[in-house]
């Protein structure tokens, strides 16, 4: 697919960024933060897709289930989405000082489709939490996980704390400069590695 990006001139392919919040609940801070990041990326003229993991159901990984039923179609589709993108942004809640089982299980299945699916890919990490620390401990664990699967994880991580949602599901309480800095880095990384 060839699109033009106004900020880069005609016929310049737009970068593609996949934003994946690791929460499936209907009123989710991390989905709201993911939506904010997606909108901000689109404002730069680049392409961003927001994944709702509830639309990619998978059982808990079990080798017997894999042998009996094969790899879930959801995992195949997610790997395809990842491969089309230049940058992946994981927006993860902190659960008990770590990242949720949802994220680990999703990747475990994806790795059964292609165990190298994140190798060398820039994966940026963000977290939204109601508390002040913004899920910083969970992000540190997530960095270790992503580094172990040979993703490239930039130093800059977004730990957005003291957040809330209004009645419309719009996120409030974030620092705009921090969001801008994070989006700029994601877009720069994606533009530097645009695939087509
Ligand atoms: C099982 C569980 C463990 C949690 N552990 C933490 C934690 O360690 N640190 C933290 O800041 N928030 C923790 N929380 C609160 C979550 O950050 C909060 O519920 C957040 O809104 C979840 O993300 P979501 O709104 O995107 O679903 C925990 C919540 C649950 C359900």
Decide: 94 in ligand 1 pocket, CB within 6 A: yes
Residue nearest to atom 24 of ligand 1 (CA): 28
Structure tokens at 144: 């270790």
| Cα(178) to centroid(ligand 1), Å | 21
Q: Among positive and negative, which fits the CA dihedral 187, 49, 30, 86?
A: negative
As a whole number of angstroms, the distance between CA 156 and CA 171 comes to 21
Q: What is the pLDDT of residues 40-96, one digit of tens each?
A: 999 999 999 999 999 999 999 999 999 999 999 999 999 999 999 999 999 999 999
Q: How far is the CA of 183 from the centre of ligand 1 (A)?
A: 24
CB-based contacts of 18, cutoff 8 Å, min separation 6: 48, 49, 51, 81, 82, 84, 85, 87, 88, 89
| Domain edges within the chain | 6-192
List pLDDT tens digits, range 87-136: 999 999 999 999 999 999 999 999 999 999 999 999 999 999 998 999 99
Contact 54, 60 (CB under 8 A): no
Q: Is the CB of 30 under 6 A from ligand 1?
A: yes
In the prediction, which pLDDT does 5 show?
A: 35
pLDDT at residue 196 greater than cutoff 70: no
Q: How far is CA 92 from CA 15, 142, 186, in A?
A: 23, 9, 16
For residue 63, report the distance from its CA to the centre of ligand 1, in Å.
29
Averaged pLDDT, 124-153? 96
44's tokens:
């730069």
CATH topology of domain 6-192: Rossmann fold (3.40.50)
Ligand 1 neighbour 122 (Cβ under 6 A): no
């Amino acid at each position: 697919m060839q699109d033009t990006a106004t900020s880069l001139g005609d016929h310049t392919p737009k970068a593609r960024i996949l934003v994946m919040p690791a929460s499936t609940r209907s009123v989710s801070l991390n989905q709201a933060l993911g939506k904010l990041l997606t909108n901000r990326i689109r404002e730069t003229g680049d392409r961003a897709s927001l994944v709702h993991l509830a639309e990619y159901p998978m059982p808990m990984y079990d080798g017997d289930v894999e042998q009996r039923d094969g790899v879930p179609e959801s995992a195949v589709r997610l790997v395809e989405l990842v491969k089309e993108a230049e940058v992946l942004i994981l927006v993860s809640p902190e659960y008990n000082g770590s990242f949720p089982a949802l994220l680990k299980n999703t990747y475990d299945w994806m790795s059964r489709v292609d165990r190298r699916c994140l190798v060398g890919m820039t994966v940026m990490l963000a977290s939204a939490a109601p508390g002040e620390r913004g899920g910083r401990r969970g992000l540190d664990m997530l960095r270790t996980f992503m580094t172990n699967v040979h993703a490239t994880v930039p130093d800059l991580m977004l730990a957005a704390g003291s957040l809330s949602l209004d009645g419309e599901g719009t996120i409030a309480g974030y620092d705009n400069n921090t969001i801008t800095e994070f989006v700029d880095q994601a877009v720069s990384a994606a533009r530097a590695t645009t695939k087509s």
